[in-house]
Amino acid sequence: MMKQLIGKWKSDPDDPSTQENYGEVTQIFHDDGRLTYIIHSSEKDQAMRLVYKVDGDQLVTDQASAPAEHRTKFSFDERGRLILEHEGERSRFIRIR
């Protein structure tokens, strides 16, 4: 499943739950275990650099500047969208590259 993650994903603009929980974000999963997480706002974009790994159906992320392992269940739906589940909330992301 890790190979399916590699690439650039944006928050699904057609999913109200995703927009409420995340707003407009882009996640770039690199094949070397780096994750670039970009929060878009009208003023400026904020980028966070994390590392990630896959443990079964869990996406495990960590941020070097504030070390703490964070686990999120993930899957892909029938249309190839990335589904993240955390604390009962489901969010959708669309591959853009």
DSSP string, the chain: -HHHH-EEEEE-TT-HHHHHHH-SEEEEE-TTSEEEEEE--SS--EEEEEEEEEETTEEEEE-TTS---EEEEEEE-TT--EEEEETTEEEEEEE--
| pLDDT above 90 (res 86) | no
**The pTM is what?**
0.89
> What tens digit of pLDDT does each residue of 18-68 get?
999 889 999 999 999 999 999 999 999 999 999 999 999 999 999 877 778
The token pair at 61 is 């992320």
| Residue 1: pLDDT band with limits 50, 70, 90 | low
| pLDDT above 90 (res 7) | yes
Of the options 2.40.128.280, 3.30.1330.10, 1.20.1250.20, 2.10.25.10, the CATH number for the domain spanning 2-95: 2.40.128.280
Amino acid in the structure at residue 62: D
The token pair at 34 is 């780096």
What per-residue confidence (pLDDT) applies to 97?
79
